[in-house]
A and B are shown apart, each in its own frame.
Chain A
Amino acid sequence: MNPQINKNFLLQHLLTSGALRDPDAMAVVCRGARLTYGQLERSSDRMARLLCEEGVRPGDRVGIFFPKSAETLTAIFGILKAGAVYVPIDPKGPAQRAAYIIRDCGIQVLLTAAKQKSLLTQILREAAPLRLLLFMDTAASMESTDSRSGRVLAWPEAQAAVTEGRPDLPTIHTDLAYILYTSGSTGRPKGVMLSHLNAMTFVDWAVSYFELRPKDRLSNHAPMHFDLSVFDLFASFKAGASVFPIPEEITFFPIQVAQFIQDHRLTVWYSVPSALIQLLQHGELQRFDLSGLRSVLFAGEVFPVKYLRMLKAALPAAKLFNLYGPTETNVCTVHPVQDLAADQAIPIGKACANAAVVAMNENNEPIQAGETGELCVSGPTVMKGYWGHPDLTAAVLVPGPAEGGGTESVYRTGDLVTINEKGEYLFIGRRDHMIKSRGFRIELGEIEAALVDHPGVQEAAVVAIPDEEAGNRIKAVIVPTAVATLTREEIETHCAKRLPRYMIPEIIEFCKALPRTSTGKMDKTILVKETVRS
């Protein structure tokens, strides 16, 4: 037996093992391009070699900033093979947020594409200078190449020039593999640091629990900067299966998504519930043959039972699974959906293998059936912390008691749950101001901070209005300064430069003062229910 087959500590070993087993098996199909395990193994070797030759050292952060393509996999595995850490950045911007991420985790090497040029120009104005800008498609020469972009290379040419052979680096499984940026309540996104071990623990469980096989064909609906993609990519490679990244622009068109599932004969689907709800409402599913789907997984927000029933009816042969877990813990609980008799929300279920999950009440004791408590997670799936913010890390990753008088880190999710007589957890709500809208995780404080950043805004409050289809819609109530005359357009434009589109308030109201409770605290319940008169 080839000794390399036994090595499965690092995420890139999953590709290498797959390529040794069956180099001709299809690894990824995207936008008409396809790469086999063997081809991807070689192209990612070349990528790793190039990065090393360009001075990338183990532990360096390398940004991925281009729309989904088959080369996304070359980028991810190449970065990992170089011992580096991949940081996916939303290719749609906004530029300010991308520039912040680049500065925050010290990205010096950015992988991009010609399409990103106008955003890149804005980003380079605000980010720290780069050392290397690598275009994955073509050399789209940055005009008068800004000195801040560093060296500019095009992958199609550059890969021909690299020397053969894979770099041999001393990476171990507790080293960082990737950083995913998520909304931060203080107004800045925070980088969740995940190691090879964190991801691999989840991937090992997922492949065996969902019985993934080489003949499986997995969807990749989530963007790469969203943690659902970790399942799509790495569980697929662990199983020797194929992954089908859905081009971003198609995801807005339910009929084309249905067509995509049918044409590629997908067998396993994973997305946020809102994507499935869109598919059910506008996807004309009766016109398509989706019988290949054997498992449909969803996570990220509550799936209303009404739509879940529609999903069961539309896909009678598919098994449905509700997965739960913040980015900080990977998936840590699962619930196989069986009967939907009662009009009750489905549970988030029980702990996955190798994740310790317990809900603690206010006295820090595990809750009994019927009680409410905060869900706490420990074990190897839990993140290493927030990049560059030990203070934020310490607030959520707390030492907990362990056997023999030792301690271990416990992640406090901020999610309030209860437990039923079967020992399944049920999600109740948040203990803070984090919300989900269309599956996106949003800290209302980040939006408030962006609003107050406007010179004409004296005070601002942002609330979430519950909505069955979207989960929540965002409403902002703004008190302008005495001299300012603000318009909705002006506020939207201001937000669009700072926040991703899904965080820009849908409803914007102006008033002279925010409603307060008798104790002087802002009365958010009034803001949710009523239009505030100015």
Chain B
Amino acid sequence: MMDSAIIEEKIKTYIMTDLARDHSGSDLKRDESLIDRGIIDSLGLFKLIAFIEEEFGVAVEPQEVRTDNFETLAMVSDLVGKKIARKSARS
């Protein structure tokens, strides 16, 4: 089972290299708003979901695409962690 720190690191690396457009800024804090930081907009959001589904082999349900799951890195990692746990519990 994947460590939550590894999950968070993978998501963070993707966000910082592929989604962030200003690469000169300070490090991304886990509780910093991805929306305020300009990382999540309508395009960024669906790119991030595609990455999560591909990288971790989990499905993000439409009703999960909410600010309370995607506002911060910590929330996104938490959502992915729970999905992976549920997936391995089933298999």
Contact = CB atoms under 8 A, between A and B. Distances in A.
Interface of A: 92-93, 115, 248-256, 274, 278, 282, 284, 287, 438, 470, 489-490, 492-493, 495-497, 501-502, 504, 506
Given A92-B38, A252-B40, A252-B41, A282 B22 contact: no
A96 to B, nearest CB: 12
Measured as residues with beta carbon below 8 angstroms from the partner, the interface class of chain B is 20 to 34
Contact of A504 (B21, B33, B36, B66): B21
B65 A115 contact: no
A496 B67 contact: no
Given A253-B65, A501-B41, A496 B21 contact: yes
B65 to A, nearest CB: 6
Interface in B17-52: 17, 21-24, 33, 35-36, 38, 40-43, 45-46
Contacts of B22: 492-493, 496-497
A256 B66 contact: yes
Contact of B21 (A115, A250, A251, A492): A492
Interface of B: 17, 21-24, 33, 35-36, 38, 40-43, 45-46, 62-63, 65-67, 70-71
Contacts, number: 62
Contact of B62 (A255, A274, A438): A255
Given A92-B38, A249-B33, 14 more contacts: A92-B36, A248-B35, A249-B67, A252-B35, A255-B65, A255-B66, A282-B65, A284-B62, A287-B63, A438-B43, A490-B23, A493-B21, A493-B22, A493-B23
Given A492-B21, A495-B21, A496-B22, A252 B45 contact: yes
A253 B21 contact: no
Main secondary structure of the interface of B (DSSP, over half): loop
B42 A501 contact: no
Between A251, A255, A470, the greatest number of chain B beta carbons within 10 A of the residue's beta carbon is seen for: A255
Contacts of B43: 438, 470, 506
A253 B45 contact: yes
Nearest to B41: A252
Nearest to A254: B65
Nearest to A251: B42
Query: 10 nearest interchain CB pairs?
Result: A496-B22, A496-B21, A489-B23, A249-B35, A493-B23, A492-B21, A493-B24, A252-B42, A504-B21, A284-B62
